[in-house]
Amino acid sequence: MKVLGIETSCDETGAAVVSDGTHIMSNVVWSQVAVHHAYGGVVPELASRKHIEKIVPVVDEALSPAGLNGDSLDGIAVTCGPGLVGALLVGLSFAKAYSYARGLPLVGVDHLQGHIISVYLEPDPPAFPFVALLVSGGHTNLEYVINPTHSEHMGHTRDDAAGEAFDKVAKLLGLGYPGGEVIDKLSRKGDSERIKFPRALLKNEEFDFSFSGIKTAVARFVHGQEKGSALSIHDIAAGFQEAVVDVLVQKAILAVQTKRCEHLAVVGGVASNSRLRERIRYEAERAGICVHIPEADLCKDNAAMIAAVGYHYLREGKTAALDLDAYSKLKRL
């Protein structure tokens, strides 16, 4: 079964063709980072306009290397939320029109479920059930994944998501947007032990997160620093990153142990962070847990993960009508 996936939840226009939910035939992403860089973050109206410009050529590019056309597809899967509503509606409108014109079944996919199932696009996916730590710019969740289309929610961030904290701290330090990659890079030259930032909820046995406090702590530290201080921006970045990673790793390991399962998936944009990947693998090995982390390109927003989820919905006969709508806020998976 070949499924065309469409992803426009934020600032990447994505289209992909996935066969049988696991084999990527094509995966095209057009990023808007250069467009939004000057503003220090995503401007929703600009994102929507760029999606309108790029959606048709991106889909054409995804179909071309796969040697396909609309008649060769078995269905269309499109992200319907959560995300920027204007951006989502561009992809949703295109998918509805394409579905109607080609007579193809349409499936609406939750963006976060797509991230979770991205591990099934890798050669060695986890067995069900497993725990997923989902860390992205807008969400930080722990999910107990029962099957490809259903998860039991365990915890989420009470305020800023981990990726959002990275972006805000990067902006505070004058590092530009997006912040995750630049902080990761700077941290490699810093000493994470020189500055001890707070670890929110680290001793709390619940599975919720909070990252607004760490952002405030960094701001107070920077504003209170004396001129000529020996502490470099590399040390600040390293101390901040270590504090975030500590919380993510400890909560994720505890969640797996609580559920008494053997597998942990780490997904979402922040899962490409080198320190998080290093620490989670080390701590998981010590605890006898098998970790699954997609390659960096599959951690970012992409349409292949949407097509992969769509395959499972189509197999179950769960299709959507043409009145399928977008939603901005998180729904329980």
Take residue 95 and report the two structure tokens written for it.
């998918």
The identity of residue 318, as a single letter, is: K
Helices (H), 67-110: 85-102
Do residues 68 and 17 make contact, with C-beta atoms less than 8 angstroms apart?
yes
In this prediction, residue 227 carries a pLDDT of 53
Spatial distance between the Cα atoms of 310 and 121, rounded to a whole number of angstroms: 13
| Domains annotated on the chain, with CATH | 2-116+299-315 (3.30.420.40), 125-293 (3.30.420.40)
Whole-angstrom Cα distance, residue 58 to residue 91? Answer: 11
User: Pairing between strand 106-110 and 75-81?
Assistant: parallel
Total-model pTM: 0.93
Q: Along the 333 residues of the chain, how does pLDDT read in single tens digits?
A: 999 999 999 999 999 999 999 999 999 999 988 888 888 788 999 999 999 999 999 999 999 875 677 778 999 999 999 999 999 999 999 999 999 999 999 999 999 999 999 999 999 999 999 999 999 888 999 999 999 999 999 999 999 999 999 999 999 999 888 889 999 999 999 999 999 999 987 666 789 999 999 999 999 998 887 554 556 899 999 999 999 999 999 999 999 999 999 999 999 999 999 999 999 999 999 999 999 999 999 999 999 999 999 999 999 999 999 999 999 887 655
Bridge partners (DSSP) of residue 147 are 150
How open is the CA angle 258-264-268, to the nearest 5 degrees?
120
Collapsing DSSP to helix, strand or coil, 129 comes out as: coil
* Cα 140 to Cα 134: distance, rounded to the nearest angstrom: 6
Q: Tell me, what DSSP letter sits at residue 209?
A: B
Residues β-bridged to residue 303: none
DSSP state of 72: G
Distances (CA, A) of 215 to 31, 137, 169, 197, 218: 26, 14, 6, 9, 5
DSSP state of 225: P
Beta strands in the chain (DSSP E): 2-7, 12-19, 23-31, 75-81, 106-110, 130-135, 140-147, 150-156, 263-267, 290-292
Query: In Å, what is the CA distance from 68 to each residue of 2, 21, 166, 207?
Result: 10, 17, 39, 44
Backbone angles phi, psi at 50, to 5 degrees: -70, -35
Sheet containing 150-156, strands listed edge to edge, beginning at the edge strand earlier in sequence: 150-156, 140-147, 130-135, 263-267, 290-292
The two three-digit tokens of residue 163, written as one number: 């990726």
Query: Reduced to 3 states, what is the DSSP secondary structure of residue 135?
Result: strand
